[in-house]
Amino acid sequence: MRKRYILGTSMAVLIVALVAVLMFNTVVPVSAQTILDRASAAQAAEATAQGIEHTRIEIYENPQALEGEQAGTTVINEDYFDPATGHYRFLTQDATGKILQVAAYDGSYNYFAWGEDIQGNSVTIHRTPQSQDDLKKRQLGGPEITENSLFEHFRTNPRVELLGKETWSDGRQVYVLVDRNSQTQKLPNGQEEETFTGTMKVVFDAKTYQLVESETTVYKDGKEIVIEKVRFLVDEVLPLESQIAWNLNDLQNVIFVDDPQVEPVEDVSFEVISEEQLAARANAYVLKNIPEGFTQEIVAAANQSQDESYAYEIHYNGPSDEHFGLQAVGVMDQGFIETSFYDGSYKSAAGLVLNYSSSHPEGSEEGTSAMLTVPDGTSFLLWSTLSRAEVQSLVEDLVPLK
């Protein structure tokens, strides 16, 4: 009897073990790419839904990478958009509910208020009739819907890792993915040094694969500091019959002012200028040695005021449609650069810094997109058909005109 009992127990243990092994072997492993693909599919399915798009997003920004409770500011963006009519409503409020910016279109009028239009809790909203020019553009082109979301950029980034599955603050299960960024610096001796600069994290709902949160950090003085955190509080498609106050008449403490119809602004004309003309107006950088077969062209907006930041572009075009270009964008907030161009960075021996855009990841067939910042703080939007390594080589050859 004892032997039968022992044998029966052993068989039970064996069966349990076999079931556990089979269950383990049939679990489909989840990777960062799998999660991103499922998130993309969920977004695509949502985009086909008929109705009014509604999002509510909380944005924390700390561009100076400060520490403490007073560091950074938080705003709430709430957006409604009807693709069928082009009607939209966009409202920005601070953490206390104070209106910071508002814009809308109801089919007949454009509405907006920002800056000096907001004094204390009083808001002056400008109401302007829809111009015939804008109406024609809407009729011919229809609403433009952009699917270039944050996680679409992550999908093509080979460095993205899956940190794991966690229980979120509201009790639901989420997946956390991270892109660890570093800066490669060219040293005077020709060698390269790599330094950790921060991370970009994204969080997805483990059931719906909707984007829950994104967070950007920088590594400063031995600490990792959050410079931007975006929480996606609401992301839904409302029924077409939903009642939305496109004319903003539901807002409190607002005054509507009727403005005359704005006439279309004439297109800006451009002219080709020389290096000497550019040097007289801006602290510009050009290639010391133009690659064989390439041509240089400098283009600037005509009739620019001496009091304004000089707007210009420098283009280098190769014999086989290669391109390397720089567009002057003035002095940019470093926090904006680090949150918008977060896909790694490179620092030249002369101190020029490239912050790469994830829209053109390393190895992309579309080439390279980045923000270039020179030692005096001036920035240039850089775009090229060349690889990152080729772009870095050209950046090493950039020299100031003055």
> Each residue's pLDDT tens digit in the chain (402 positions)?
333 333 343 333 333 333 333 333 334 457 888 998 888 888 888 778 889 999 999 999 998 888 877 788 999 999 999 988 999 999 999 989 999 999 999 999 999 998 888 888 889 999 999 765 554 444 433 333 333 456 666 777 778 899 999 999 999 999 999 999 889 988 877 788 999 999 989 999 999 999 999 999 998 888 999 999 999 999 999 999 999 999 999 999 899 999 887 665 566 788 999 999 999 999 899 999 999 999 999 999 888 888 778 899 999 999 999 999 999 998 888 778 887 888 889 999 999 999 998 878 888 888 999 999 999 999 999 999 999 999 999 999 999 997
Do 131 and 280 have their domain in common? Answer: no
Q: How far is CA 370 from the centre of its chain?
A: 12
Are 67 and 116 found together in one domain? yes
Q: What is the DSSP letter of 107?
A: S
Last residue of a domain, one of 258, 290, 313: 258
The answer as to whether 229 is a domain residue is no
The answer as to whether 308 is a domain residue is yes
Structure tokens at 186: 């060219």
Predicted local confidence at residue 1, as pLDDT: 35
**Would you tell me how many other CB atoms lie within 10 Å of the CB of residue 117?**
18
The answer to whether residue 13 sits within a structural domain is: no
CA 54/CA 262 separation, integer angstroms = 29
Q: What is the DSSP letter of 71?
A: S
213 in a domain, yes or no?
Answer: no
- Joined together, the tokens standing for residue 292 give 């064989």
Where do the H-state alpha helices sit in 27-161? Answer: 32-47, 132-141, 150-155
Residues 298 and 396 in one domain: yes
Question: Does residue 284 share a domain with residue 245?
Answer: no
Same domain, 335 and 300: yes
| 87 falls within a domain | yes
Asked if the structure places residue 89 within a domain, the reply is yes
Calpha distance 63→169 (Å, rounded):
25
Looking at the 3D structure of the chain, how many domains does it have?
Answer: 2
Q: Do strands 161-167 and 122-129 pair parallel, antiparallel, or not at all (unpaired)?
A: unpaired
Per the DSSP assignment, residues forming a β-bridge with 355 are: 345, 371
Domain range enclosing 123: 51-147+240-258
Cα dihedral angle (256, 261, 263, 265), rounded to 10 degrees?
A: 20
One-letter identity of residue 207:
K
Q: Would you give the DSSP letter of residue 252?
A: S
Query: Is residue 254 domain-shared with residue 324, that is, in the same domain?
Result: no
CB atoms within 10 A of CB 351: 12
Q: Burial of 114 by CB count in 10 Å (0-12 exposed, 13-18 middle, 19+ buried)?
A: middle
**Residue among 200, 244, 238, 192 nearest 219 (CA):** 200
Those residues with Cβ within 8 angstroms of residue 9's Cβ, 6 or more apart along the chain or in another chain? none
End-of-domain residue from the set 229, 258, 287: 258
**Virtual torsion, Cα 77, 81, 87, 88, nearest 10 deg:** 10
Torsion sign (Cα): 79, 83, 84, 87: positive
For residues 245 and 377, membership in a common domain is answered with: no
pTM, full prediction: 0.72
Residues 170, 334: contact at Cβ < 8 Å? no
297 and 358 share a domain?
yes
Distance between CA atoms of residues 140 and 11, nearest Å? 74
Q: Report the distance separating Cα 158 and Cα 148, nearest Å.
A: 18
> Same domain for 254 and 278?
no
Within this chain, do residues 288 and 139 fall inside the same structural domain, yes or no?
no
The 3-state DSSP class for residue 167 equals strand
The H or E element that residue 335 is part of is: helix 334-340
Instruction: Examine the domain organization and report whether 253 and 300 are in the same domain.
Output: no
- The answer to whether 283 and 374 are in contact (CB under 8 A) is yes
Q: Does residue 12 fall inside a structural domain? A: no
What local confidence, expressed as pLDDT, does residue 264 receive? 59
Which residues, listed in sequence order, are joined to residue 298 by a DSSP beta bridge?
273, 314
168: left (phi over 0), alpha (psi -120 to 50) or beta: beta
Domain shared by 392 and 312, yes or no: yes
Would residue 234 count as lying in a domain?
Answer: no
b/e sequence 272-282, b meaning 16+ C-beta within 10 Å: ebeeeebeeeb
Residue 308 CA to chain centroid, in angstroms? 27
